[in-house]
Amino acid sequence: MRMLHRAILLLLAAALLASPTNVAFAEGPTWRDSTRDVYVDGHLDRAARVLSADGGKRTAVLLPGARKALLLDREASTFAVVPRKAFAFNADGTGAELAADAASKPGGAFQKVDASSSILGWKRKTILVSRHQGLVGDVTEDTLFATVPVWRQEIEESDGSSNQLPLCSRSMTLRSK
């Protein structure tokens, strides 16, 4: 009887490891939300999503309304274009997996402005991805979530309300150094 239970457990474990969802995403890196400022034609776009993988060597830019995502290879200074739907986001929206079979097309080269900023041209638009500059002055919960919308989504997914953030329950004043 004990041997039968072990055999069943081993078969279940093998079935889980060989499932199609594990195979489709097995080779790709885990992409994590990255707080960056994205400027499109000189205008800050707070709705743009930025993900990073491989310790920051790869960056994905997901522009609102675009059916494609841009994959920047920071070491090669090139970018590729993949279908946006190739990213499967986790439940709280802070990470994603890129489908191993995602068809990428070369998008071209980009320039590094500095150690953390890149600029590129795509579909007649100039896109600048740079380090987030942070907030200075009075900061309310609304201001904070307008600056980093994914944080509101993460909180709402975790417990259903943004009222659980003790830091944002009152207005704060942040000062630059």
Cα-flanking dihedrals φ and ψ of residue 86, to 5°? -75, -15
Supply the range of the domain harboring residue 86.
Answer: 25-131
Q: How confident is the model at residue 10 (pLDDT cuts 50, 70, 90)?
A: very low
Helix (H), strand (E) at residue 54: none
pLDDT tens digits for range 120-173: 999 999 999 998 877 777 878 887 777 777 677 667 766 655 454 444 444 455
Q: How many domains does the chain have?
A: 2
Q: Which residue would you say has higher pLDDT here, 18 or 71?
A: 71
Number of Cβ within a 10 Å radius of residue 29: 15
pLDDT at 84 > cutoff 50: yes
Cα-flanking dihedrals φ and ψ of residue 123, to 5°? 50, 50
Alpha carbon 28 to its chain centroid, in Å, reads: 14
Judgement on whether residues 83 and 55 belong to the same structural domain of the protein: yes
Judgement on whether residues 58 and 113 belong to the same structural domain of the protein: yes
Instruction: Give mean pLDDT, residues 74-80.
Output: 96
Q: Look-up: residue for tokens 């079979």? A: 101
Judgement on whether residues 141 and 122 belong to the same structural domain of the protein: no
- pLDDT number for residue 104: 93
pLDDT tens digits for range 92-115: 788 899 999 999 999 999 999 998
Judgement on whether residues 41 and 122 belong to the same structural domain of the protein: yes
Judgement on whether residues 63 and 116 belong to the same structural domain of the protein: yes
